[in-house]
Chain A
């Protein structure tokens, strides 16, 4: 399992990046500048880019695909799809990069580049498709139903006559500093006589970042409330009646698509409030939706939720 993850998440992606980088670096001096990067239906070159820009484009795109492949390895579900898509993109770009280098090799000007016809382009696609099929086939082995649901669910042993409330939060100081810096920049722009568009957008970004730098979570008999930002606004409320069970989990921001409010309960059925990496609380809702929020002391919160759900005849 571990070695499969390393192969699909590191070795293979590094290989497709390396192919492009090595092809460009090894042939650098033998390439024209600008070089041909686009060919017409007849197979003759008809589009160019500066040599360095073409290199940056091909290398950058393969790196992006490699990041996609790496991220795929950390997901619970959809590993095969994402890893396959990343492999298709990575291998296709790498193949096209190599074709571009070979076509331009030793040409004095870009017009002298060798022709690249439709069969060769299709060949690249075919190669990428084969790689994607192979990768997603192997990646499927990594997909198992998460074992968490089978474990004993946390409980705090709430008695029948007891009433309880749990409050906790999560903070990300780095995001706070970012918000502060952007706000200061906005004020500086305003003081410098900037128009309202850049000033307004900087202030808006500062507020948005500040709101997502801090979260407060409260669980009581009726609902779980997630309040954002230092002012506790906006708020998201999930009624206990809607919850099936809760559990503690470890949140990896990169695997959840980054920081902030990710996904949508209404549209996608999955949402995550990711303030920082680490401890988090996952709610399984009755309508098969999932809500994740990063919060300290999640085990206690999950325990209270489960006890409250049980009391409601969950």
Chain B
């Protein structure tokens, strides 16, 4: 799994890290059950604060892509591979809608109409 971040880019570093892991999951570079690098190690490798990495991992957990268990580290969730692609697309959709001045409510209505 390759994680690359760019301090000069617009997005926050923790968002960049989460996005990289998400891509690695959806593209199958990491499989369910695989462990993510320990936060401390990843933070040292990327020369970022450990809390930045933990924030990224927590976001991924909230999206249901990874599981955090004491003593077992952070592992890719069983549903991770299929779910990661959906989460990626949803984030893209949300960003695109915001760019065009669409509110969340309007987007929800649109999705309801479509389904």
Q: Given the complex of chains A and B, what is the CA–CA distance between A167 and B29 in angstroms?
A: 10
Contact A162 B45 (CB under 8 A): no
Q: Given the complex of chains A and B, what is the CA–CA distance between A236 and B56 in angstroms?
A: 29
A/B interface sample: 8 pairs, CB < 8 A: A156-B2, A156-B4, A161-B9, A165-B4, A167-B1, A168-B1, A218-B41, A218-B45
Q: Given the complex of chains A and B, what is the CA–CA distance between A168 and B36 in angstroms?
A: 10
List CB contacts (< 8 Å) of B40-57 with chain A: 41-42, 44-48
How far apart are A277's CB and chain B's nearest CB, in angstroms? 20
* Interface range for B: 10 to 19
Contact A161 B3 (CB under 8 A): no
Contact A161 B2 (CB under 8 A): no
List CB contacts (< 8 Å) of B1-25 with chain A: 1-9
Contact B6 A220 (CB under 8 A): no
List residues of A whose CB falls within 8 A of some B CB: 156, 158-159, 161-168, 218, 220-221, 297, 300, 304
> Known contacts being A161-B8, A162-B6, A163-B7, is A220 close to B46, with CB within 8 Å?
yes
Contact B5 A166 (CB under 8 A): no
**Residues of chain B with a CB closer than 8 A to A164's CB:** 2-5, 46
Among A161, A165, A167, the one with the most B-chain Cβ atoms within 10 Å of its Cβ is: A165
**Residues of chain A with a CB closer than 8 A to B48's CB:** 163
> Known contacts being A165-B42, A167-B37, A220-B45, is A297 close to B29, with CB within 8 Å?
yes
How far apart are A218's CB and chain B's nearest CB, in angstroms? 7
Which residue of chain B has the shortest Cβ distance to A162 in the bound complex?
B6
Q: Given the complex of chains A and B, what is the CA–CA distance between A166 and B41 in angstroms?
A: 12
Q: Given the complex of chains A and B, what is the CA–CA distance between A156 and B2 in angstroms?
A: 10
**Residues of chain A with a CB closer than 8 A to B29's CB:** 297
Contact B45 A304 (CB under 8 A): no
8 new A-B contacts at CB < 8 Å, known A163-B6, A166-B1: A156-B2, A162-B5, A163-B48, A164-B46, A165-B42, A165-B46, A220-B44, A221-B47
Contact A163 B8 (CB under 8 A): no
**Residues of chain A with a CB closer than 8 A to B46's CB:** 163-165, 220
Q: Given the complex of chains A and B, what is the CA–CA distance between A164 and B42 in angstroms?
A: 10
**Residues of chain B with a CB closer than 8 A to A158's CB:** 4
**Residues of chain A with a CB closer than 8 A to B3's CB:** 164-167
Contact B45 A161 (CB under 8 A): no
> Known contacts being A161-B8, A163-B7, is A300 close to B45, with CB within 8 Å?
no
How far apart are A186's CB and chain B's nearest CB, in angstroms? 26
Which residue of chain B has the shortest Cβ distance to A296 in the bound complex?
B29
Which residue of chain A has the shortest Cβ distance to B3 in the bound complex?
A165
Contact A163 B41 (CB under 8 A): no
**Residues of chain A with a CB closer than 8 A to B2's CB:** 156, 164-166, 300, 304
Q: Given the complex of chains A and B, what is the CA–CA distance between A162 and B13 in angstroms?
A: 11
Contact A163 B4 (CB under 8 A): yes
